[in-house]
Chains A and B, each alone.
Chain A
């Protein structure tokens, strides 16, 4: 009797069998791109890596690029399914690329499927592509066998270098939906260098609500911009022109490494007008300043002053740019809502953000100058 019970009970351990998913039955899509067509339908492009065995020699990884046209993303996925050997499975997705034209309309419809499905990987990184996403996914690089690895690596190093805030599918969703908060996504671009195709980081695209405004923070301003959001990657370097008088151009520039930042964002309402003070304190180390004259405290202080002036000017331009794009990336609106709910209820933030006053202030303090003077 006991044995019978044991046998029956051990059957229960086999419950996984209904939901097992064999790797051999699935093709894992690692990167996916969406583009907009004129007539409103979507082109979905996926890269599916497979490993090909050859009679002699090692196994060779190969990447298959498939794309299809359909009105919605899942419909497109069905069509892709009908073109590949096994079932399409997005649960290990690493990168989601959105073409510029699609991003300018609305990115939520293409992402909805990912949010709804419990299997999808919400860690996947997101980027906007200048041109079409299909182009970038189809890039053939000699060094990287997988395009998804290439793009993920690129996006990760962009975050490390403080060029982007490191958004993934889940992390943007709050800003996507909440009024008074916007976000940025890194912009990628395909470049051709000789006969090589490469993908290049090309700044941060400013979003408003659910769509790309078309305005972007340029690559050289991106570090300062990310710092202004109070975030810092593993390293952050800023190069700025601080002199005008040297004939030889490199002598006019200084490169600093940002050691530590302190950001404060104060939102006040005075006389019905929203005022935001954004102060950013940077302690820096000089990485490159080819003068060999950093001997006295005075000169270093002078350099700090100049950097302060130049960066404050840049910060003002950045703030003005977010306003002209109407993209409230600093979540000023949400702060107004939190601290001044009555004011918020009277405002239409979609219209009012460009008219508020943002006063950015950057202070640079050079603390170290490397191992030579």
Chain B
């Protein structure tokens, strides 16, 4: 099946794909979500999430390493044999689609709340979907290159937040561990939402150049980078806003920037938001790409019509769903639940089955490089 030459990407590009996929729509509201449960100790929850994810990433890597020449969907087909495998792939496609819908909805809600209150949602949705469809249709290599160059924007985001440093009050995160360890561990669940892009490491693993060990190093460093970025965001917002206040502010990062002013840019928050849109687009594009990959594996067809169909259905579903708070909350919870199932449980299950079925036998030959 994978007889034709695969598009290979370098490890650096792999790094940025992971980073750009993980950092996305959640970054604006993450401090608020963490605070909702773990109060000022939300940053500890974040660290707990990061550490536990590291173990899961290691397991995912183990799975991918066992089948170096196959992508994740092909692994599923091989491990579970053809039809059950296809069934699981379809489930994954549904999962990726629902994440994509959630991303578009959250994106649309944020924009209509902050900058474009009277622009109809379908316009925002079609913009996002069409741009990302265009990107995904050009293939993994182009995506990887673009993500690498877009990563410059992440540093602008960090740079903008540095402006708040004069107003930070470290006192606000003290006393440490006041909210009790149960809440802190519960808060780790909230943190996970911002990390769900990690499944991409497994899906595109086979397209990355290099030895398995080096690839894991890349995954590790990408994960560390994302964690540091999140930790920075969380600590800045926790120390800028008082403990009481952050409970009222759903997008602390934006809100914080609203009170500052550059000589030329009066509203830094809007500036920040437009850069954030890029981060959202990169996450969305990755999910769309993975959906397309799944569809191609199911139908055994290399064609961009499949991914176009997926994009159109995401667009239509998002319009009919609408970004009403309650429904969005529900969808968010469903996606988190599915995230546990598809991001953690099924891959580990696959790993176990794979270990049982292919005990001694190695995957056919080393990958040619």
Query: Footprint of B on A, CB under 8 Å?
Result: 9, 12, 15, 18-19, 115, 118, 121-123, 168-171, 173-179, 181, 331, 334-335, 337-339, 341
Contacts and interface: CB of A to CB of B under 8 A. Distances in A.
Interface in B169-201: 169, 171-172, 174-175, 178
B118 A123 contact: no
Contact of B115 (A118, A170, A178, A335): A118
A174 B245 contact: yes
B259 A341 contact: no
B296 to A, nearest CB: 24
A237 B171 CA distance: 30
Given A19-B117, A19-B118, A335 B259 contact: no
Contacts of B255: 170
Contacts, number: 72
Given A12-B127, A177-B242, A178-B172, 4 more contacts: A12-B123, A170-B259, A175-B242, A334-B172
Given A177-B242, A177-B244, A169 B259 contact: yes
B119 A19 contact: yes
B258 A173 contact: no
B175 A337 contact: yes
B178 A341 contact: yes
Nearest to B169: A174
A9 B126 CA distance: 11
Contacts of A171: 167, 259
Given A18-B116, A18-B120, A174 B242 contact: yes
Interface in B238-257: 240-245, 248, 255-256
B258 A122 contact: yes
B114 A174 contact: no
5 contacts: A118-B113, A174-B242, A177-B245, A179-B244, A334-B171
Contacts of A178: 172, 242-245
B259 A123 contact: yes
CB-based closest 6 A-B pairs:
A170-B259, A338-B174, A178-B242, A174-B242, A18-B119, A177-B244
Interface residues of B, number: 34
Given A123-B260, A335-B171, A174 B241 contact: yes
Nearest to A115: B248
Contacts of A338: 171, 174-175
A329 B242 CA distance: 15
Contacts of B260: 123
A12 B122 CA distance: 11
A220 to B, nearest CB: 28
A307 B83 CA distance: 89
B251 to A, nearest CB: 10
B130 interface: yes
A87 to B, nearest CB: 14
Interface string B119-139: 110011011001000000000
Contacts of B117: 19
B258 A170 contact: yes
Given A19-B115, A19-B118, A337-B175, A173 B167 contact: no
Contacts of A115: 248
Contacts of B259: 122-123, 168-171
A19 B116 contact: yes
Contacts of A179: 244
A294 to B, nearest CB: 36
A2 to B, nearest CB: 14
A15 B174 contact: no
